[in-house]
Structure 1
Amino acid sequence: MFLLMLVVFVLGYGFIVFEHVNHINKAAIALFIGSVCWAILSLSGESILGLGFSSAWNNFLREGGSLEEITHFITHDQLMHHLSEISSIIFFLIGAMTIVELVDKYQGFKVITSKITNSNATKLLWIISILTFFMSAVLDNLTTTIVILTVLRKLLTQKDNRWIFASMVVVSANAGGAWSPIGDVTTIMLWIGSQVTAAHIISSVILPSIVNMLVSTFLFSLLTKGKTIRPVLDTNETDEFTTQKERVFMLSVGVAALLSVPIFKTVTHLPPFLGMLFGLSIMWIMTDRYLKNRSEEDKRKLTVMAAIKAIDIPTVLFFLGILSAVAALQTAGHLDVMAQWLDDEVKNIYAINLIVGIVSSIVDNVPLVAASMGMYHIAAADATGYMANFIQDGNFWSFLAYCAGTGGSILIIGSAAGVAAMGIEKIDFMWYLKKASWIAFVGYIAGALTFYLQVLLF
């Protein structure tokens, strides 16, 4: 049964990776493998945990637990423990996605996109890349990718140009999200789990991420030339149902709500999802009061309820399912076995994280980071030697944030931003592999070397 759990997980991931072939939504597969893995563990828990691979189970036995209590241990102790951690991530995502959707409903992003007027392909590439990089740090890489690609459809006509720009957006969005505590789901997970603090992850990962973005954008710029041709917009795309003042105000409030989350956590010491929900509640109160005298049509378009209906619920359910599956593997001991193998065979935190980053281009980085958090635990603050890398803000966790956040760019299916770009622009997998993968890989290695030099010098 121990191996059966792993087989279910691997086969399920195969279906997720080849979603474009089997046409089954990855959220459905993730929920399936999450529930099945826990079911196998619950039905065969004694034989699985009796192998002794699970550190949680071994700790339970050392505290005087008996084998008769195994069902209670799985269904109440471990499942509820992991559910609380997973829920904090899910609520954070729902709050953030709703805030961003609300800003978009008010056409707040037009304040930024209306300033983009350059028609030189190379210059426009650099403008979009830098804009994507910093927007991703505030809004998250998935949302930024969707917003920027929507803008690019209004700026570029040629398919090849759009695909090059879209590939660059994926790389820049992932690089921009890696160094921000609210910019990427994997960094959010490490921040919420207390592996890193907001100030440290920014200071330690921002330079490697910038190097990644600059190197990649330079290489992408070699593929572009001439001037861009803008498509003719239809009436629906040029319709403006909010004023410039309303757009600026809502964009400012939305960004302020997102940026206040790290401050809320620092001041109150409460989990970040509460700060995100607090920001959402303020925007909800403001918009409801603002819309009380507006038309019924405006109320349908501009309320928080309209934004909630527009958020990507399948993505949220995907995270729920996959994090549940990883939690089951952690409880059973699979992750402890993997951690032991990496320690015995690789024995280097930088090599381990580079491997995690490269693997994340094949397997989604969310479960990889969840697996790493399960495999390795936060060491005591006074730890020395090798274990000092695993204290809060240790080099292992900071480098993991960089590698997991940017390694997924190597393949189009390796990150949420890449999957979004593939769906919106219909980018061919093999085209990306030939044209963009090597660029993403060079940028990834350049940023990794920058991180290592930082460690040596400072």
Structure 2
Amino acid sequence: METLIIIIFILGYLAITLEHNLKIDKLIPALAMMAVLWALVAFGIETFPNWFDSAGHKLVEGFSSFSISEKHHLLEETLLHHLGKTAEILFFLLGAMTIVEIIDYFDGFATFKNYIKTKSKKKLLWIFAFLAFILSAIIDNLTATIVLITILQKIIGDKNTRLWFAGLIIIAANAGGAWSPIGDVTTTMLWIGKKVTTAKLIEYLIIPSLLCMVVPTFIASFMKPFKGELEKTEEEDSTTQNKYGPTMLYLGLSGIIFVPIFKTITHLPPYVGMMLSLSVVCVFAEIYSRSKFSISHAVEQEGDDKQGHHSPVHQSLSKIELPSVLFFFGILMAVASLESLGMLFIGAESLKTIIPNTDIVIMLLGVGSAVVDNVPLVAASMGMFQEPIDSHIWHFIAFSAGTGGSMLIIGSAAGVVAMGMEKIDFFWYFKKISWLAAIGFVVGAATFLGLTAIF
């Protein structure tokens, strides 16, 4: 049964990567794979020798001796646990995407666009790379990618040119997220799990992460897609910006930045703070649009339309990229099924036995995070190693898991969102961007190991 589960996962993964060849949206194999894998887990629950406790980051002792009813009860609890953890990420994502769409409704990103006067592709590349690196550390790499690609769509009309910029934004955003406790889901996990502290994480990873962004960007700046100047877009000839645009931009970004502050004060999951920020942004959006306070009432919305008013909240929610959200849900829950059977944990332990050098194991985990979601891999590593807080191992795991995912488009949340927003082809990214991400990863990893050896 375990072999069949692995085969189903591989086939589902191939179907996702061959999306454009099969002409099937990637969310379909992701959701189907998730459902089939959990069905197989339920059917074979009596035969499995191991079960992984995700909350405790360890294998359940004596699982094979459990009764059938106990195993089924544990299955239900585990499924509910993973659904809850996945929902936390998805609702955080939905909140961030809605705030971004509301800002866009008021043309708020034109404020950023107005500051970017250069038409040089090379200069623009460096501007976006550093913006991604800094923003991702403040508002997390996922939200930073959403914001910057939205701005990118306003500035660059040519789709092919935009894809190249989006690829470098993914690398820069993941690099920026690695050195901040709120910059990436995996660093947040290590931070909450008391494996790293904020000060030491920044101290150890700021230079490796910076080089992980700078080196690929420097190489890319000499490539053909970034030579010359941009063509003038139609939007540049449009009328003046909405007068509430700057206000909504600053309000929206402040709301997102408030989320980690809210989490620190209340110790509640980030999505709770995101929902609070979203509600505040929605209130101002409705006031500024002079529309009724209506989000879900279609009848009231129709009445607004007849009077010439439109709810920005309603319109923003209707623009959310739900296929990307569902794809993310399918992937996370599918990987959770492998994690629950202890496959990832046992695989990591076996790797540790075969390769005694811990640093090489962690680098391989980084490469693995490009193929499989980095969240369960980091969870497995938290169970593998017993080193004290702020050991260099935890910082190296944060770097590897955070930046290694850039090597494949579906290897990180930032990549998945960019893939949905710009319809980036898996193989296009693999041919054009992956090698740049790999160079950045290796340079950053070598820098980290060199610095830890010196200090």
The TM tier, using the shorter chain, reads 0.7 to 0.9
* Residue aligning to 2:41: 41
Q: Percent identity?
A: 40
CA contact (8 A) 1:194 1:392 kept: yes
Residues 46-445 of structure 1 mapped to structure 2, 5 A cutoff: 46-48=46-48, 51-52=49-50, 54=52, 59=60, 61=62, 65-75=66-76, 77-145=77-145, 147-149=147-149, 151-152=151-152, 155=155, 162=162, 164-188=164-188, 190=190, 196=196, 201-223=201-223, 227-233=228-234, 238-240=238-240, 242-243=242-243, 246-292=244-290, 296=304, 299-300=309-310, 302-303=312-313, 305-361=314-370, 363-364=371-372, 367-373=373-379, 375-377=380-382, 387-388=386-387, 391=388, 393-412=390-409, 414-418=411-415, 435-445=432-442
Q: Look up the equivalent residue of 1:71 and give its one-letter code.
A: H
Q: Deviations over 1:177-229 (max 9, x none)?
A: 33344444544555566655555544443322211111122111222576404
Q: Distance in 2 between matches of 1:207 and 1:260?
A: 26
Counterpart contact for 1:216–1:443, Cα < 8 Å? yes
Residue 455 of structure 1 deviates from its aligned partner by 2.9
State the alpha-carbon separation in 2 of the partners of residues 278 and 42 from structure 1.
37
* Closer, same or farther: CA 300–401 of 1 in aligned 2, 3 Å: farther
Instruction: Provide closer, same or farther for how the CA distance between residues 30 and 66 of structure 1 changes in structure 2, counting only shifts above 3 A.
Output: same
Q: Secondary structure of the residue that 1:128 maps to in structure 2?
A: helix
Shift of 1:424: 6.5
Q: Hey, what does 1:4 align to over in structure 2?
A: 4
Larger mean Cα displacement after TM superposition, 66-75 or 432-441: 432-441
Cα separation, 2, equivalents of 1:377 and 1:226:
44
Paired residue type of 2:356: K
* Paired amino acid for 1:372: V
Structure 2 residue 443 is the aligned partner of structure 1 residue 446? yes
Q: 1:122 to 1:94 in 2, by over 3 A?
A: closer
Deviation at 1:15, TM superposition (A): 1.0
Work out the CA distance in 1 between the residues paired with 2:191 and 2:333.
19
Distance 1:333 1:290 in 2: 52
1 CA distance for matches of 2:439 and 2:423?
Answer: 24
Q: Given the two structures, how large is their TM-score scaled by the length of structure 2? A: 0.83
Taking structure 1 as reference, are residues 426 and 46 closer, same or farther at Cα in structure 2, changes over 3 Å only? Answer: closer
Query: For 1:300, what is the secondary structure of its paired residue?
Result: coil
**Residue identity opposite 2:441 in structure 1:** Y
Q: Distance in 1 between matches of 2:104 and 2:154?
A: 16
Q: Which structure 2 segments of 5+ residues have no match?
A: 293-302
Secondary structure in structure 1 of the residue aligned to 2:439: helix
Given that 2:102 and 2:285 are in contact with CA atoms closer than 8 Å, whether structure 1 keeps it comes out as no
3-state SS of paired residue (2:447)? helix
Cα distance in 2 for residues equivalent to 1:159 and 1:101: 20
Letter in 1 for 2:374: L
Question: 2:300 corresponds to which residue?
Answer: none
**CA positional deviation for 1:407:** 2.2
The AA in structure 2 aligned to 1:231 is: K
Letter in 2 for 1:401: A
1:370 alignment partner AA? P
Contact 1:179 1:201 in 2 (8 A): yes
Matched-pair contact (CA < 8 Å) for 2:289–2:311 = no
Which residue in the other structure is 1:383 paired with? none
Change (3 A) 1:45 1:392: farther
Q: Distance in 2 between matches of 1:290 and 1:426?
A: 32
Q: How many pairs align?
A: 439
What is the CA distance between 1:452 and its match in structure 2?
2.1
Separation in 1, partners of 2:424, 2:332: 28
Unaligned stretches of 5+ residues in structure 1: 380-385
Q: Scaled by the length of structure 1, what TM-score is found?
A: 0.82
Residue 358 (structure 1) shift: 2.4
Q: Kindly tell me: are residues 88 and 307 of structure 1, through their superposed partners in 2, closer, same or farther at Cα, counting changes over 3 Å?
A: same
Q: CA deviation at 1:45?
A: 0.4
Say whether the 8 Å CA contact 1:154–1:231 is kept in structure 2: no
